[in-house]
Amino acid sequence: MIWFSYASPIVMIAAVWISYRIGKRSRDQLEQQQGQGDIGQARVVVQDLEQISQQVRRSLVSHHASIVQFKERISKLTEADDADAMKELAREAEQILQPTIQLASQIAHAYDDIRQQTDQLSSPEQLRTDPLTGLSSRRGMEDILKMLIAMKSRYDTRFAIALVDIDGFQKINDEFGHVRGDEMLRSFAANLDSTVRETDVVVRFGGEEFIVIMPETDLLGAGIFGQRLRRSVDEKLGLSISVGVAEARDEDTLKSLLSRTDSALYSAKAGGGDCVFQHTGRHIEMARPLKNVSLPPAEDTTAEETVANTTGV
């Protein structure tokens, strides 16, 4: 690879540091659990669940207020029989629909967090592993991203992340049940894990959303990965996905990076799904689509090499 001779020392340092930090944190937690027992672990879980429930409750209250106001507007406009007012009503309906989608995603994440926290009460060693798919969990992801952000600040490295959502997944659960839904999630996770490079980290973010952390990858490379993954999932699983990607910027925190990536994903979902959007740091745009070309294996491909070898991009 063109960049490998320059980046490999940094990548090796990062890999060693990640392994050390995860291992150290796990050992520290086990020592703490041995000293405090299961009661201490239970307290942590209860606190996390309280935070989750409070966040969902606040969102539900706010959204309920919006719906009540909208119903009042419908009653008044129906009586007035005003065509222009009805058009305005349609625009208001679209504005209400957007937080509805976000709230549904938030509830799905909360449910997944509760299930993970419950598993941790009996299996503390699964703290950083998603029990359904075997991928890294959100808790492990946060440590890795914080470390990469620190590395970027100190050594001027680069990395990007992709947030992936399975389109229409709720319909699968509704029509075929949660058992079939879980099977689909495991199949999707396996396909996703086989698509990334060995240096990438795949995380189950919650519900049907997954995150891919890509060291030494720019925004172009992240967009190419998203398009390649979208094609692979369609061909192998018959599913469509929406992807939002963003490259870490100098001023990014963990929260701001995830927020930008989530905004890109929301734009992909709002655009009808089955597409890839990217956040440039200033605006959101659709990622460059791939034409009918054969792509090299993910493990041996950088963004620069892919562009050089695919004239249809």
Residues labelled catalytic: 208
SS3 239: coil
Contacts of 199 by beta carbon, 8 Å cutoff, 6+ apart:
11, 15, 214, 215, 216
Tell the burial category of 244 from Cβ atoms under 10 Å away from its Cβ (0-12, 13-18, 19+).
buried
> Residue 73: how many CA atoms within 13 Å on its side-chain side?
16
CA distance 268 to 216: 24
Q: Is 212 left (phi over 0), alpha (psi -120 to 50) or beta?
A: beta
Strands 276-279 and 241-247: parallel
- Take residue 100 and report the two structure tokens written for it: 């509805």
- Give me 152's structure tokens: 């970027």
Cα 159 to the center of its chain, rounded Å: 15
Q: Which residues pair with 244 in a beta bridge?
A: 163, 277
